[in-house]
Amino acid sequence: MSDTGDRPASRGVVNFNTVFGILGIVIGIVLFIITPDQVERPRLLFGQKPSGLDPDFFPRLVAILFVITGVWLIWRARVLVEENRILNLDKEAVTNVLVTLAGFLLLALVMPQLGFVLSSIILLAGLSTFYGNRHFMAGAAISIGVPLIFYNILRVWLQVVLPQNPFFPNILWF
């Protein structure tokens, strides 16, 4: 029995889940600490807060969930027997992930200059073309429609401030 693939992993071995569990805990703690300094407080309306929740409630909730998920991953990693298949990924899978990450990095860089809608249209059109979309009319409709719908939901209904398109500054939906 020299084949090690049939034996379960020994307890205490650091694996993929342990690493990401620790990373989740660290990110959660950092987010929890820096959130009050990063979230802007709303103005008072008639001496009262506009709503019952503090603006840092949801970012802090996400930070707590990061820590809980990290602890859960570390707990599960103790008894988990798994094969690390990330190292066995083919070149195409790695390329797909890297292109997607590059697309979102580009989105973050050009969004202040082009606005939310136009930069999102470019991202969706580029990624759908890269991933092999052959129905260009449907791809164009989705690439244009989805950012407009999200912009209206976020900007009009939820009153989230998003970067505006400098070419059409007076058009609310663009």
Same domain, 94 and 150: yes
Look at the alpha carbons of 153, 171, 163, 143 in this order and tell me if their dihedral is positive or negative.
Answer: positive
The domain boundary residue, chosen from 26, 45, 77? 77
Q: Could you tell me which of 76, 74, 70, 129 has the C-alpha nearest to residue 99?
A: 129
Residues 113 and 62 in one domain: no
Task: Determine the Cα–Cα distance for residues 140 and 128; give it in Å rounded to an integer.
Answer: 9
Residue 170 lies in a domain: no
pTM of the shown model: 0.59
* Angle (nearest 5°) at CA 131 between 99 and 104: 35
More confident residue, 163 or 125: 125
Calculate the CA 53 to chain-centre distance.
23
Task: Answer yes or no: is pLDDT of 2 > 80.
Answer: no
- Residue 65's alpha-carbon distances to 72, 106, 119, in angstroms, are 10, 28, 30
Mean pLDDT of 34-38: 84
Residue 4 lies in a domain: no
pLDDT at res. 1: 43
One domain, residues 95 and 71: no
Domain ranges, residue 109:
89-157
